[in-house]
Structures are given as structure tokens and as C-alpha cells.
Structure 1
Amino acid sequence: MRPTFKILTLISTLCFVSLSASFSSFAVSEQKVEEAEPEKGPNRGRMLREGDFAIELSIFETGVPPEFRVWATTDGKAIDPSKVDLNVKLTRLGDGIDDINFYQEGEYLRGDMVIYEPHSFIVSLTAKYQGKSYNWQYDNFEGRTKIAEDIAKAMEIATDIVGPSTFHETIEVYGKLTLPADATSNVYARFDGLVEKVHVKLGDSVKKGQLLLTVESNESLQSYKVFSAQNGIVSAVHITSGGQSKGRVLLEVTNNETLIAELAVFPMDLPTVRLGAKATLSINGVEAKQVSTVDSRILKVRDDQAKLFRVLVNNTDSSLSEGLFVSAAIEIGSYDVAMAVKRKGLQSFRDFTVVYAKVGDEYEVRMLELGRIVGEEIEVLGGISIGTEYVTENSYILKADIEKSGASHDH
């Protein structure tokens, strides 16, 4: 039993040492994180020090657009702001450099330009005081991440370019497919007689001029042929071989190469719909959409006060049938916008709606001022430059990565 006890004691000792080392290492790591946090001044700005000289640089935005304000001290005592010459340069990702100069306002120096969002840049500060120059540089990033091109491709992160667009405003309407009034032709025998042979059956496709019937005239006892007057499908058969024609309809041939979508437009939308307007049709059970135009309208309104507008639908492949339900986007206006982005690229960041700009293998938020929404696009009034490459597909991956990194908004 003694050897077993010694082994257990040794294992316990090693585990304790290992845990102690890990805990110690964790504590050191925590200490390093704390030491890495930038020092804050009495005005909640970042403190920059060199010897006895110190600068507190703060982004001030209470009651005013964001701007820099600076307090200078030496040996902890305030310096007359008029005696400090100060310049700050902000190097932005893909957006150039903001060059900010300062002027005295009371007990501090005030920057001469607005610091627009995002507040993500490399800060370079130069101060001159009593003939000596002081220089600091640090990163102040937010809403930014880096993903290698091959990884971004594997994640199917797709991009587009911010640019002008033409918006097509539409209304959504519903209806069903029907046949034109003249779609069906009735087939008669020219002279009454015995129908010797019916050459087609129900559902057959026929061409114009195709033989349909052979009839023997009761008067002349001569046989003659009856041909189809149009392309179509045999939609009804009212006779069989050996029957008498008796002046009645023997066959019906329906041409379904063109169908009509009868779309209900309700009173509130009636003033916006015009003949000739573009209509994009989605037909029940059919993946591909059809584009056509509003061809005509029915004068009488339905009991629910909707007016039916008619749109011609191409059916040369006979894939569509009368009675299918259909929805349509009818264009009621179009206008040009200077900038637009795809709505599927939008994400939220703090209190902003953003897209992610792409510069090389880096991605960063752009806070957008948005306008009108039409379809899959949205107008952009500000917050991004025309020509900027931005993420359209799988932007949520970038959002998750940035939130995971916990980048702060340093003021």
C-alpha cells in the first residue's frame, strides 16, 4: 500500500503545481491586459505622455457633432492652450487622411473639423511646446476585421460596388391565368354527312392545316377532308368515327400559345396603373419569372370593387395552364438615385445601420444615411463613398467576428 500512496501523493503535488502555474500565468495575462488599456484623463480622453509633458485627447460630442478637444499639462499643471501648437492626422481605411488643426477655446484646444463615423483610424498627433516637438501614434480601430482572401472566398463572402441605380417602384397584385376570348375554334363539317374517320384524339397537339376529319357528304356521297384552322390542342371531341355531323360542333381546337393573366387592382392603386406598364409575373409552380406589359383592362369592376387588368403571358412551350394562380409586380414609376446598396448586405452596428467596406483583406463598417427602399435595393444619402467595394453576401460573418473581438469605441 505504501508505493500506491506515494504515487497518489506525487500526482496530487504535480496537479497542484500545474494548476498554480496556470493560475499564475492567467493572472499575469490579466495584468498585461489591464496594463494595455490606455490611460484616461479627467475629461475621459486618452492620455499621451512624454516626460512631464502630457496631452489629453478626447472626442467630444455632447450637443455638437463629434470633434476633438485637447487639454495640455506639464508636471500635472494646466498649460495655456495658446502656447501649444497641435495637429492630428487620422489615417482611415481606404478613405484617405483627415488633417485636423486646433484653435483655442477657453481652457482647451478645439479641432477644426467633424470626426465622422466610424471612429476607426490610425491617430498621429504632433504637438509643439516651448520649442520642443512631441509625437505620438496609436491605433483606434472599431468595426474592423481582417480575413484572408482565400478564407473569405471559402466563406462565400461576396461584394459589389456602391454606385448609382435606377429604382423601379412597383405594386404587388394577384390573379390567375385565363385563355383569350378567341383562343378556341369550333370545328364543323362543311356539308352534313357521315364522319368516316376522326384523325385526332382529345389532348393532341395540332398544327394549322393538319387533317382532323374525313366526312362523306350525304348529298354527293363524296368524301372530303376537314383541316385545322390554327395551331393548338384538341380540347373537346364531340363525334366518333361513323357518326353523323348534323350541323353541330364536332371538335374544339384551343390555341394556348398566349395566355392572359387577369390581375385585380383595388381602388387605392388604380390611379397608379397604366396600360403598357412593365409587369413581372410569378406563376404558381413555375420557378422562372416572366416579364410582360399591361395590355388591356376590363371596364366592369368586380363585386369587391377591384378592376381586372390583363397581361399577355407567353406559353409557346405549353407549360402553363388556364386557372393557375399568379402574382405580379406592376411598375408604377421609376427614378434615378445617386447611390444605392443591396438590402441583403445591411447589418446593425451600435445604433447604426451599416455595410462592410472592403479594402484589400480588411473589412470595416460604414454607417449609412438611408433613403427610399425599392425592391432589393435601398438609396444611400451618405456615410459611404461612391465606388466603394462593400459586402453583399454573408455579411453576418463579419458582424459576428467583430462582436467577438469586442473592439471598443474609444473617446
Structure 2
Amino acid sequence: MSEKQQFDSALLTPKHWIAVAVILACGMVGGALILRAPQTATQTAAAVHAEDDDDDHDEEGVVELTEAQAKMIGIALAEAGPAVIRKDTLLPGEIRFDEDRTAHVVPRAAGVVESVHAQLGEQVKKDQLLAVIQSAAVADQRSELQTARQRLALAQTIYQREKQLWEEKISAEQDYLQARQALQEAEIAVRNASQRLSAIGVSVAATGGAAGVSRYELRAPFEGVVVEKHLTVGELVNESTASFTISDMRYVWAEMNVSAPQLPLVQVGAPVRVRATAFDASAEGKVAYVGALIGELTRTAAARVALANPQDLWRPGLFVNVEVMTEESQVPIAVKSKAIQWLDAQESVVFVLDDHGYKAQPVQMGRSDAEYTEILAGLSAGQTYVTEGAFMLKAELGKSSVDHGH
């Protein structure tokens, strides 16, 4: 047998076929593993990405904060519930002195200022000394009173003597009657001189010798604050000199102008809320006065609100907004108006507290005023929402959206 025939016979032995089969099987298994590995990695990456998408979806519109972070940005909570919605007419106004509690203190006789005892801005009591003035007119009035008193004393002496003589039948009755008439005229002269001094606010009693005859005092008519002062020592004053202006600042007026179409809505006694434009402050009051005439130039009527001012917040000259309440409505579900936030200037939301954090809850709004906003859909009565710090949550939510977008 040739060598080729011997080699072919050797290939046909069972052992060789078994070896070939094992080699082929191993190759097929290895190829399958190689082909499957990239597919498994792809599937794993897809699964991870899907899980991340699910996590992002779960946290969408939610701001997670720790208790310390919430306290830092001033988060405050409240429960949605019934409230009264007011319909108001808004009028611009200005704080003024209460003219019923403001006095312009002027000298009642011409003279020269001797001393000044009250300063601008000082709180004074009723009858407190403001200034002392030397006046020749006052000296003349006191001299007239003194002369009248001396004549009265003489008339009383003559009357008593004539009365005694007439009763003793020594003198005629006519002398007695003349003495009585002279006494009555002297009494009238003293009374008139005293009244003239009292009318100009001068005491009938002179003090301090000759200098005291011409001196009189300016005193505070009631308790208040010296808001204007126009006196200096040595200044010549007369009856038209505005020396002091004193106002009781515990009460002020908020004055506003009401246009003709608004007059039916602004009535005396209507409740109002006055808000400062320069700082966060408000006060309740009522319309105290509405003018009967409409101004020729402004075409408006003057109106005012009397306000208590215990803390001196309302200073004359301060600009305010006056909200005159014209209608009240009770609504079943409302939130604080400052709790409403707008996302993308289209969707109104309220941040509510849930298990994951502070969630931006879309809401449908109804009637509103400066204090409360009615919620028609999106919140239920008793649901906890954010009243303070909602804007910060909105900013944090916008920041999170930008981060996820990158």
C-alpha cells in the first residue's frame, strides 16, 4: 500500500472524527459568545438609561430640600381653605395731617420774642410753655386793667359812704344813686379790660415787676408734636406770624381724589385698606369724608380716611394706595396670592408639600385680591402649600431644569 493510501485510511478512523467534531463545536460556541457580548452591553446601557429616565420623570417639578435649607430660604406653610375675596377700587392717595387735631399757634399781640422753649419735632403737653413775648400792646392792656381796678376800689369806697349817709338821712338819695351807678360802671370797666387780656391769651396777673407787665406766653393748645417752628429770640412778631404748628400725630388723614365714575363706589363709611408705596405697611380704616363738589380742573372729588397712627408709621407726605372695598365674596378654597407662581409665563402653580419635597402643582385660578386667590382646580381643602419662599422654589426649579438640559 502506498503512503497516500495509508494516510487516507488513518483519517477514516473513529478517533479522528471525534477530534474534528470537538474542534467544530468549540468554534461555534466561541463565535456565539463573541457575537452576543456587544448586544448584552448595549442592552445593559439601554436599561440604565431607561432607569435614569424613570428617575428624572419621578422627580420632575419637585424641589428637594433639607429642613435646614428650607429654613434658610424662609419656607412657610399653610393649608388651603375658605377665604373672603374682596373686590376693591384702588385710589392713589397721600398722608396728611389730621386738620381737626392740628393747630397753628400765632401771637395775639405784636411784640418781640424774649425766649423760645419748644423745638422742632418736640413732643409737647397741653398748656406747655412754647415761647415768651414782650409786647407794648399787652403792657397797655394791663395798665388799663390796673387803672380800672383802682377806679373800682374808689367807686366802692364812695358807694359805701353815700349808702351810709343816705340810710342815716344825712345826704340826699340822688347822691347815693349816683355813687351806685359809678360803682357799676367801674365794675364793667374792670370786666372789659380783663376780657380783652383773656381774649389774646394773656394772664390778667402780671409777674416779674415792670418787665412782667408787657410779657405774655404762648402755650400749647393740646398734646402733640411741634411740626413747624418760625420763632427766634429777638424776632419781631405780629398777629399774622405763624409761630408754631402743633399736630397730634396719633391720628392722620389719608387723602385721595375720586373720579366721577368712581363716586358711586366710594361712600362714607366704606371699609378701606391703606398701603404704603415706599415700604411694606398697611392699615384698616373707613371713608370719613367724600367731597360734594367736583374740581373744575381735576374733575375729581376729594375724599379722606381717618387713620390711627400709634407707631408714627404714617408720616404726612407719604404716598399710599387706598383700596376701597366695594364687594365681598366667600370662596371654598383659596391660597395666599403671593403663593401663586408662573412657570414660563403661562402655567400658574402653587408649591405643595409631598413625600418627595416641594412640588409645583398646576392650579386653575378664580377671583383674587391683594390677599387671597380663589383656586378652582388643582388643590383640595386642607392641602398644605407654601406661602413664603415660593419664588425661591421656582428659581431652584428653573435651575434644576437647566442642569438636566445639559
TM-score (normalised: structure 2)? 0.55
- Shift of residue 348 of structure 1? 4.0
Cα contact 2:276–2:319 (8 A) shared by 1: yes
User: Partners in 2 of 1:155 and 1:26 — Cα distance?
Assistant: 45
Read off the aligned partner of 2:96 and give its amino acid letter.
Answer: T
CA distance in 1, matches of 2:121, 2:342: 55
2:340–2:348 CA contact under 8 A, matched in 1: no
Specify the alignment match of 1:292 in structure 2: 285
Kept in 1, the 8 Å contact 2:83–2:333? The answer is yes
Q: 1:294 to 1:161 in 2, by over 3 A?
A: same
Aligned to 1:261: 254
Aligned equivalent of 1:46: none
CA–CA distance in structure 2, aligned partners of residues 352 and 313 of structure 1: 40
- The residue that corresponds to 1:252 in the other structure is 244
Question: In the alignment, what sits opposite 2:300?
Answer: 306
The letter for the 1-side match of 2:97 is L
Matches within 5 A, 1:197-212: 197-200=114-117, 203=120, 205=122, 206-211=124-129, 212=131
Q: 3-state DSSP class of the match of 1:271?
A: coil
What is aligned with 1:150? 67
Of 130, 136, 142, 1:220 maps to: 142
| Equivalent-residue separation in structure 2 for 1:346 and 1:277 (angstroms) | 32
* Inter-partner Cα distance in structure 1 for 2:243 and 2:299: 38
Match of 1:72 in 2: none
Residue aligned with 1:220, SS: helix
CA distance change for structure 1 residues 359 and 168 in 2, over 3 Å: closer, same or farther? same
Query: Residue 176 of structure 1: which of 81, 87, 94 is its match?
Result: 94
The offset of 1:170, in angstroms, is 1.9
1:259–1:313 CA contact under 8 A, matched in 2: yes
CA 220–405 in structure 1, closer or farther in 2 if over 3 Å, else same: closer
Sequence identity of aligned pairs in percent?
A: 20
Runs of at least 5 residues in structure 2 that lack an aligned partner in the other structure: 1-37, 144-205, 207-211
Q: How does 1:5-404 map to 2 (within 5 A)?
A: 30-33=45-48, 143=60, 145=62, 147=64, 149-150=66-67, 153=70, 156=73, 157-182=75-100, 183-189=102-108, 195=112, 197-200=114-117, 203=120, 205=122, 206-211=124-129, 212-215=131-134, 217-220=139-142, 222=206, 223=212, 225-226=216-217, 227-232=219-224, 233=226, 235-237=228-230, 240-241=233-234, 249=241, 251-257=243-249, 258-283=251-276, 285-302=278-295, 303-315=297-309, 321-343=315-337, 344-348=339-343, 353-364=348-359, 366-392=361-387, 393=390, 394-396=392-394, 397-398=396-397, 401=400
The 2-side partners of 1:354 and 1:261 are apart by 36
Q: What TM-score do the two structures reach when normalised by structure 1?
A: 0.55
Q: In the aligned structure 1, how far is the partner of 2:82 from the partner of 2:402? A: 31
Distance 1:152 1:161, change over 3 A: farther
Tell me by how many angstroms 1:230 deviates: 2.0
Query: Are the equivalent residues in 2 in contact too, given 1:193–1:218 (CA < 8 A)?
Result: no
Larger relative strand fraction: 1
Q: Displacement of 1:270 after TM fit? A: 2.4
Q: 1:198 to 1:389 in 2, by over 3 A?
A: same
Per-residue Cα deviation, 1:255-314 (whole angstroms, up to 9, x for no partner): 152332211222333222222233333345455333332211222223232222101244
- For 2:229 and 2:257, locate their aligned partners in 1 and report how far apart those are by CA, in whole Å: 30
Aligned letter for 2:140? N
The answer for unaligned runs of 5 or more in structure 1 is 1-22, 39-119, 121-139, 407-411
RMSD of the alignment, in Å? 4.3
- Name which structure has the greater RCO, CA cutoff 8 Å, separation 6+: 2
Structure 1 residues 267 and 143, CA gap change in structure 2 (3 angstroms): farther
How far apart are the structure 2 equivalents of 1:399 and 1:239? 64
Q: Quote how far apart the aligned CAs of 1:339 are.
A: 0.2
Q: 1:270 to 1:27 in 2, by over 3 A?
A: farther
Measure how far apart 1:141 and its partner are: 5.1
Q: Which has the higher helix share?
A: 2
Q: 1:29 to 1:363 in 2, by over 3 A?
A: farther
TM-superposed CA distance for 1:398, in Å, is 4.3
1:167-199 CA-partner distances (Å, limit 9, x unpaired): 22222211323334442233334xx57557233
Listed one character per residue, the Cα deviations across residues 121-166 of structure 1 (whole Å, up to 9, x for unaligned) are: xxxxxxxxxxxxxxxxxxx958564736436526634432111111
Letter in 1 for 2:83: S
CA distance in 2, matches of 1:146, 1:193: 76
Residues 341-388 of structure 1: per-residue CA shift (max 9 Å, x gap): 234343449985433432334454544332112224321122322111
